[in-house]
Amino acid sequence: MTLILGIETSCDETAAAVVEHGRRVRSDVVATQHDLHRRYGGVVPEIASRAHLERITPVVEEALSLAGIGFDQIDAVAVGNRPGLIGSLIVGVSAAKAIAWSLGKPLIGVDHILAHLHAAALWVDPGGDDSLQASNMPDPPQYPAVGLVVSGGHTTLYRVGSPVDAERLGSTIDDAVGEAYDKAAVVLGLEYPGGPNLDRLAAKGDPTAVDLPRSLLGKESLDFSFSGLKTALLYAVRGRPVSRKGKAEFPRSAADLDPQAIADFAASFQAAAVDAVMIKLERAINRLTLDGAPPRSLIVGGGVTANSLLRTRVRESGETRGLPVHLPPMRFCVDNAAMIAGLAYEQFARGSVDDLALPAIATASR
């Protein structure tokens, strides 16, 4: 039995988890910072890193307690060391190094984005009869697969050959889809966190009420762009800015619209954003098929995977093509340490470990 302690502090979630054999989640603790950042409408890096410093020790201790083990029973320490907010990453990486050094255990650095693709393979042990546990565990993804990570910082397509082998096919050239959601929520006057609130409001609106663009970047492009969609929504809601006394001002705001109009804008924005994602996902499937390596499954991860419309559309695509779809449970869509520990197991099993020189790196490796 291999038990890995995972630590995740790439943005504004302080998380620790214990995962057995890469999939069975023995504990999963996440301390959010939503209350700290709500007044600013987004994550403030300095506030986030200070909050991580305050919370990392109790979060790790709680994860071990819930797993029913002590520090001496873990086999390795894993940490998401890239990409993310550098101050936040340093807190997690430093904590992981200290634990690994003090215990004499292997240290494993994990790519946060690729860990999101492993989240769909995670399984929470319901307890009870061990003979029933295997039947509760979801089937692992079949490879090769098409991987899609959609979050506040990333919108990326991958050819996935194994849990530790992913080749980037396309990514956003400007805003990530989650960032676009959050900015759209600000335009519509919704509270933070904007993405989930916009999703809920969209259910009450008409997705055809407002004609918003789907940026495709050429017939064969697998890259994404959401800045044009964000700007189109801004102008549709507030009107085009006019110059008054040397300053650009919008003729109106979301406060001037009735609730149904706001819901229609939310639904129309969501329809356009998800359409753009799905068009590129379908292109990726077609490209790999034409290249002679048709995918055997679809793997989707990241915070935006919690979006109701996207989950529905991905499942429909899989059903149409006869491809198994692997979506993480809702609790593992957002940043968490279970996905870090889970992917670390795959690296550990292949002999891939790091030393105490492991750096915290703000940028993605792929």
**pLDDT of the residue at 90:** 98
Average pLDDT, the chain: 93
**pLDDT of the residue at 193:** 83
End-to-end CA distance of the chain: 31
**pLDDT of the residue at 356:** 96
28 and 176 housed in the same domain: no
Judge whether 17 lies within some domain.
yes
CA distance 41 to 4: 35
CATH number at residue 61: 3.30.420.40
pTM score, whole prediction: 0.93
Our measurement of the distance from residue 272's CA atom to the centroid of its chain's CA atoms, rounded to an integer in Å, reads 20
Q: At what angle do helices 86-103 and 45-67 cross, to 10 degrees?
A: 30
229 and 342 housed in the same domain: no
CA torsion 116-118-121-125 (nearest 10°) is: -80
**pLDDT of the residue at 364:** 79
63 and 160 housed in the same domain: no
CA distance 97 to 357: 9
215 and 248 housed in the same domain: yes
**pLDDT tens digits, one per residue of 71-94:** 999 999 999 999 999 999 999 999
52 and 201 housed in the same domain: no
Mean pLDDT along residues 288-302: 96
316 and 341 housed in the same domain: no
Judge whether 361 lies within some domain.
no
233 and 154 housed in the same domain: yes
The burial class, CB within 10 Å (0-12 / 13-18 / 19+), for 243 is exposed
Task: Please check the confidence at residue 308 and state whether its pLDDT lies above 50.
Answer: yes
* DSSP-derived 3-state class of residue 79: strand
**pLDDT of the residue at 126:** 63
164 and 301 housed in the same domain: yes
Task: Please check the confidence at residue 134 and state whether its pLDDT lies above 70.
Answer: no
Give percent helix, percent strand, percent coil of the chain, each to the nearest 5: 45, 20, 35
246 and 340 housed in the same domain: no
**pLDDT of the residue at 128:** 46
Judge whether 27 lies within some domain.
yes
Containing domain of residue 227, as a range? 145-323
**pLDDT of the residue at 136:** 67
Judge whether 354 lies within some domain.
no
**pLDDT tens digits, one per residue of 235-279:** 999 999 888 877 888 999 999 999 999 999 999 999 999 999 999
**pLDDT tens digits, one per residue of 164-204:** 999 999 999 999 999 999 999 999 999 988 999 999 999 99
Judge whether 356 lies within some domain.
no
**pLDDT of the residue at 22:** 96
Residue (of 129, 124, 93) closest to 108 by Cα position: 93
**pLDDT tens digits, one per residue of 318-352:** 999 999 999 999 999 999 999 999 999 999 999 99
**pLDDT of the residue at 133:** 53
Number of domains the chain is built from: 2
* DSSP-derived 3-state class of residue 246: coil
24 and 161 housed in the same domain: no
CA distance 224 to 77: 35
Judge whether 355 lies within some domain.
no
